Amino acid sequence: MIVGLMTVELFIGGSNTLKDKRRVLKSIIDRVRSRFNVSIAEVGNQDLWQRATLGVAVVSNETAHVNQMLNTVIKSIEANGEAELIDFSTEIL
């Protein structure tokens, strides 16, 4: 069993309140979860209204599949346009 973990740092420029941030994150999280069948949640910067940290987890039996899924998730988040990707890190267990 191969587990892929990814931490994603986002900047939400159009957000002026925590409510705006939650709306944008809910959209991103729901879209990623439904398209890619991965676990995703906000894991940091919960009190900052223009920053967010998301955690993504993927489980598979092949390392190549895990890498492909994590790369596809990152591309999807970047293409979203509601939030700017600041940084991301991946770890394969």
pLDDT in tens, 9-46: 999 988 889 999 999 999 999 999 999 999 999 999 88
**Is the predicted pLDDT of residue 6 greater than 90, yes or no?**
yes
DSSP class of residue 13 equals T
Mean of the per-residue pLDDT values of the chain: 94
Q: Is the pTM value of this prediction over 0.85?
A: yes
* Amino acid 68: pLDDT: 96
How far is 42 from 67, CA to CA, in rounded Å?
21
CA distance 11 to 21: 10
Those residues with Cβ within 8 angstroms of residue 2's Cβ, 6 or more apart along the chain or in another chain: 59, 60, 61, 62, 63, 65, 66, 92, 93
Domains, the chain, with CATH or none: 2-92 (3.30.70.1120)
